[in-house]
A = this chain, B = another copy of it.
Amino acid sequence: MLVSFRGVKRPTETQHEEVGAVEGRGPSLADVAELAGVSTQTVSRVSMGLDNVRPATRDRVLAAMAQLGYAPNTAARALRYGSFRTIGMIAHRLARTGESRTVEAVVEAARTEGYTVTLLDVESPSSQDVAAAAARLSHQAIDGLVIVRAETATPDSLALPPRMPVVVSDSRFVGHHPAVGTDQAGGARSATQHLLDLGHRTVHHVAGPAGSAPAQVRAEAWRAALEAVRAVVPPVVEGDWSAGSGYAAGRALAADPDVTAIFCANDEMAAGVLRALHEAGRAVPGEVSVVGFDDILLAEHLWPPLTTVAQDFDEIGRRLVARLLRQVRGQDGADLHEVVPVELRVRASTAPPPARRDA
């Protein structure tokens, strides 16, 4: 776990080059102080905007700062304060909509708290990769860690640096760490119920990868909703969240004339399903209804506009940050799982099933 920090070349010989030479470091308080003819402490006070400095002195210091191009050294401040005001965030495939929306929300929420976010993308959502990423980040300058969709099952909690505050979202680590997540089950249930309410006899499901906890929860809620009305539970078609996998699943489903309603575990896969249905010449929603999950920005502008379960990414981001910062401040240790409600957005991709041939 202990990683060398080498490779940072720093000129040791060149003590004080001429003005204008490219130095490895910028000017320090001491440099400004010398130029302004005051002590470093006075410069520090000016730098922090304290008001117990005589205006004439302040002006002199500000002039010296400007001349030298002084900028405070963050490392020194962080060392002094013991905090970086930075949150680490681990995500997987962050260009995917759900992730990027969450990232944006967390960045935004962190900003309002005066924190910035350091990002790490892991190649796979496996426990090892996430743990390795966490270890890497722990060597970076962070005060806490947000882990988004660390999907693969893990036997235990993460091997994190001690004392590192953590909050997770939508992950297997729920139960081991404080968590904030979407109401996956409620969303899947209402999506399925919406289709049943429209008169569909049953609902097919294009699921996320088997190792993904949210995928499992969504599939389970879908199944439960069907069983609650004694509907037939068709076999699950498994995708990998990508539109391509949804397309593949959609081609299979489009070939089955009995399929009239499809609940997709996310909007990208729903887009693929829609394409497959179009290609097969099956009308949406005339012959087949489709529901997604996430409400990505494009959902409303797919064809037809997609009925979907909207996740409140902004709220999740806010709560993740709030929860983490409470830990950072030593106020929150409970491994609670907060659930953020979802909302079904009914658009044009769902309708009652076609008149039954055998009716």
- Show the binding face of A for B, using Cβ within 8 Å: 2-10, 22-26, 46-49, 69-79, 81-86, 93-97, 100-101, 103-104, 107-108, 111, 114, 116-121, 136-142, 161-164, 242-244, 246-247, 268, 271-272, 274-275, 278, 297-298, 300-305, 329-330
What residue of chain B has the Cβ atom nearest to residue A3's Cβ? B49
Q: Are B117 and A22 in contact (CB under 8 A)?
A: no
Given contact pairs A2-B72, A79-B76, A297-B268, A118 touches B119 in the complex (Cβ within 8 A):
yes
In the bound complex, residues from chain B placing their C-beta under 8 Å from that of A272 are: 301
User: In whole Å, how far is A103's beta carbon from the nearest beta carbon of chain B?
Assistant: 7
In the bound complex, residues from chain B placing their C-beta under 8 Å from that of A161 are: 26, 69, 71
Q: What are the nearest 3 A-B pairs in CB distance?
A: A69-B162, A75-B78, A100-B100
User: In whole Å, how far is A113's beta carbon from the nearest beta carbon of chain B?
Assistant: 10
Copy tally for this chain in the complex stands at 2
Complex CA gap A117/B89 in Å reads 10
Which residue of B72, B100, B140 is within 8 Å of A139 (Cβ)?
B72
Q: Are B97 and A103 in contact (CB under 8 A)?
A: no
Given contact pairs A82-B8, A107-B94, A301-B271, A74 touches B118 in the complex (Cβ within 8 A):
no
Which residue of B78, B103, B271 is within 8 Å of A302 (Cβ)?
B271
Which residue of B7, B79, B162, B330 is within 8 Å of A114 (Cβ)?
B7
What residue of chain B has the Cβ atom nearest to residue A77's Cβ? B5
